[in-house]
Amino acid sequence: MRSYHKLVDTVYKYGVCRPSRAGSTRGGFGLVLNHDMADGFPIVTTRKVPYRGVLGELAAFIEGTTRLSRFKELGCNYWDGNAKAWDPYGDTVGRIYGVQWRDWRNAYGVSTDQLKALVRSLITDPYGRRHILTAWNPGELDQMCLPPCHIFSQFYVRDTPTRLALDLAVYMRSVDLCLGLPADLILYGMLQHLMAIETRLDVGTLTFMLGDAHIYENHIDGWALQRMREPHKEQPRVQIPIGMGLWNFDPAKVALVGYDPEPNITYPLNV
């Protein structure tokens, strides 16, 4: 993904050093990354990204689970550090992304399943401007092991010469460019594909709008190596079994055809 490399390298070269809760960073603000799904699936090829764990995370979000053990059952270990730092003896991640997607509660305790409402609105009112999925619930931030970073997404149905396409824009308040963003591209790229299946639309463009976009100081050496590698000319293609959609998503049955990345570079998770 040349667009990813260009964005991270801009921050690497010109970013401003800033302190943060989880360590010193080099960062920028208000950056944009665009990817056309016609060019392939949005996964970084200049290092190996453990995409199965990200797909497992998405499956846990779609389920709306709060159990850390369920994330691990689905192959996602990403939440271990934050969950244990928040509740050392529990088995909970709190009311994070997936819970907000499936069980948003208002001030009176009334629940809204945003994901079901989103599918319904895309089908019944495709040109609507309210196809929104939000994870930022100010009244429940203290019930989360980590406040959401990708806080808001909007789906958009677009006319093409052949049929309607489903575009997606994601806003992130905070983004770890080396470790976090490659995973988020996979997660929302797959969600976009699943939503397109449910709504019988083509998959269109994926846009990320980044607030505080940063490289942690302990990631600088890793990026200095990664930036010397050439992104592959062709992106992998995602292969989803016939009959699988949003509600029966099984990450173990999804394949990325042609994914042959460069060797792994380890970026530590800053908690």
Positions marked active-site? 149
Task: Let me know: does 271 contact 82? Beta carbons within 8 Å.
Answer: yes
The tokens describing 215, both together, are 């490289």
64 dihedral zone (left: phi>0; alpha: psi -120 to 50; beta)? left
Burial class (CB in 10 A: 0-12, 13-18, 19+), 54: buried
The tokens describing 134, both together, are 């939000």
The span from the first CA to the last CA of the chain, in angstroms, equals 27
Of 29, 34, 25, give the one whose Cα is nearest residue 170: 34
